[in-house]
């Protein structure tokens, strides 16, 4: 890429691109919704091909959305129990699929909040799901 950019040539291209796409730092909720919709279209077009020409644009739009969400839609911290339930759902696991925690009864008590995970169980789950032990604390 040419290190010397002539702004007089860049500015008309940028103004045209911005007018056509509305891509710029997200200003409000309506703009946020438009950017999310645009990201969906871009991802559909790229169809999972990481080398697709649109992936650079996917990264830019994704970063703009992430910045807005961090400021305006922060996620509440998840509890260890919520993390376990999420991972079970993602891996399509049942209570009986977690022998490292204990019997199905023990798993049931943990999932209903009647019992807390102990250190051994936390370590085993962290190893199984390849996450930090802090995920379950």
* Domain total of the chain: 2
| 1 assigned to some structural domain | no
Q: Go through the chain and tell me how many residues it has.
A: 137
Domain range spanning residue 112?
80-136
- The whole-number pLDDT of residue 77 equals 84
- Residue after which a domain boundary falls, among 18, 40, 72: 72
Q: Is the pTM value of this prediction over 0.85? A: no
- Residue after which a domain boundary falls, among 72, 90, 105: 72
| 2 assigned to some structural domain | no
On whether the CB atoms of residues 54 and 46 are closer than 8 A, the answer is yes
- The whole-number pLDDT of residue 2 equals 54
Question: Digits of tens for pLDDT over the chain (137 positions)?
Answer: 555 778 888 889 999 999 999 999 999 999 999 999 999 999 999 888 888 999 999 999 999 999 999 999 887 888 999 999 999 999 999 999 999 899 999 999 999 999 999 999 999 999 999 999 999 98
Dihedral, 42, 43, 46, 47 alpha carbons, nearest 10: -150
The DSSP code sequence of 39-75 is HHHHHHHHTT-TTSTTHHHHHHHHHHHHHHHHHHSPP
Q: 50 and 27 share a domain?
A: yes
Q: 38 and 85 share a domain?
A: no
- The whole-number pLDDT of residue 23 equals 94
- The whole-number pLDDT of residue 6 equals 82
The CATH number covering residue 119 comes to 1.10.260.40
Task: Compute φ and ψ for 78, nearest 5 degrees.
Answer: -85, 145
- The whole-number pLDDT of residue 130 equals 92
């Amino acid at each position: 890429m040419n290190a010397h950019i002539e702004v007089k040539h860049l500015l008309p291209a940028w103004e045209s691109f911005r007018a056509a796409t509305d891509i710029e730092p997200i200003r409000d909720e309506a703009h946020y919704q438009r950017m999310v919709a645009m990201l969906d279209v871009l991802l559909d077009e790229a169809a999972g091909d990481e080398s697709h020409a649109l992936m650079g644009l996917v990264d830019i739009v994704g970063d703009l959305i992430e910045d807005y969400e961090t400021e305006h839609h922060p996620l509440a911290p998840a509890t260890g129990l919520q993390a376990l339930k999420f991972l079970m759902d993602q891996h399509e696991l049942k209570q009986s699929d977690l022998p490292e925690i204990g019997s199905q009864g023990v798993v049931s008590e943990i999932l209903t909040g009647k019992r807390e995970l102990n250190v051994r169980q936390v370590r085993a789950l962290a190893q199984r799901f390849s996450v930090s032990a802090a995920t379950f604390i």
